Every structure is written in structure tokens, then in C-alpha cells.
């Protein structure tokens, strides 16, 4: 795990090819299954696989129910996907193959486009780092469990 002035991130190794990991990240219907924050409750509508420029909505809950629409702002098949919501914080997943059957996954919360000095003082980056670590663990378990079923 790491932190710079306006972002926090963590990485781990998933014992599956990058394609299998990316398939989960590019399917917003699976985001509630891997969310480590406990805020993502479900997808709105039936969105297709995400691509650059895709918009997707999620039902959220943090104290109260709300909806969040995000837009995919970075995309490279099986390597990188990032989205931002109205606040312009950016959630990024970078995938690096580790041999033939493993992938290093790095998730980053980048809040540089917001009021970063204000955000830094709120404790949100620290909370989001904890959520990132939990999300990566859930992603790892989900992908690895589904890999074993298909082998």
C-alpha cells in the first residue's frame, strides 16, 4: 500500500490471468460482489461490458441510500480501467501479468482533481485505502474461486 499527496493505492497478486480479472472489473454487475467499502449495493439497469466513455449507475448506501453515476475515463483492454463520478475522484485498476497465470492488480483512489487539500483533511483517503485493501482481497477471492470452477 502507498500514498502520495493526492492519491492512495494498494496492490496484490491474483492467481489468474489478467483477462479473468479484467472481465470482473469491466462488468458493473459484479462490483457489489467485490466492493470492500460496503457502500455498493447494486447496479442500476443492465449495463453492457464497460468501455471507454461508458456510463454506469450504482445503488449506494452510506448512512443513506443514494445513486452514483460513473463514467469510464481510462481503458486499455485487460490492462487498465478507471472511472470517475461527479466529484471527479478517479478509481483506477491497473493489471500487470505476473507470468502466465497470475496478475498484479493495483487499485488507486486519485482525488487530485477535487479540492485535494480539503479532501486530505477529511480522512476520506485513509478510509478509502482501507476499502481498497478489502476490495482487492474480495476481487482476489472471487476471481480465484471462479477460476478453479472453470479449470
Q: What is the pLDDT of residues 100-122, one digit of tens each?
A: 899 999 999 888 777 656 666 77
Average pLDDT over residues 1-23: 87
User: 144: part of which helix (H) or strand (E)?
Assistant: helix 124-150
The CATH number for 135's domain is: 3.30.530.20
Question: Rounded distance, CA 42 to CA 39, Å?
Answer: 9
Q: What's the pLDDT tens digit per position in 13-62?
A: 999 999 999 999 999 999 999 999 999 999 998 777 999 999 999 999 99
> 88: domain range?
2-150
Are the CB atoms for 10 and 2 separated by under 8 Å? yes
Domain count, the chain: 1
Amino acid at each position: 500500500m502507498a500514498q502520495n499527496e493526492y492519491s492512495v493505492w494498494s496492490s496484490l497478486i491474483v492467481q489468474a490471468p489478467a483477462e479473468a480479472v479484467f472481465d470482473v472489473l469491466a462488468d458493473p454487475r459484479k462490483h457489489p460482489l467485490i466492493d470492500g467499502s460496503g457502500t455498493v449495493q447494486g447496479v442500476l439497469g443492465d449495463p453492457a461490458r464497460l468501455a471507454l466513455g461508458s456510463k454506469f449507475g450504482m445503488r449506494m448506501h452510506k448512512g443513506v441510500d443514494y445513486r452514483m453515476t460513473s463514467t469510464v475515463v481510462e481503458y486499455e483492454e485487460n490492462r487498465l480501467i478507471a472511472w470517475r463520478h461527479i466529484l471527479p475522484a478517479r478509481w483506477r485498476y491497473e493489471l500487470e501479468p505476473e507470468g502466465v497465470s497470475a496478475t498484479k492488480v493495483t487499485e488507486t483512489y486519485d482525488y487530485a482533481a477535487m479540492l485535494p487539500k480539503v479532501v486530505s483533511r477529511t480522512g476520506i483517503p485513509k478510509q478509502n485505502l482501507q476499502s481498497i485493501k478489502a476490495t482487492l482481497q474480495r476481487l482476489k477471492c472471487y476471481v480465484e474461486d471462479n477460476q478453479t470452477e472453470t479449470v
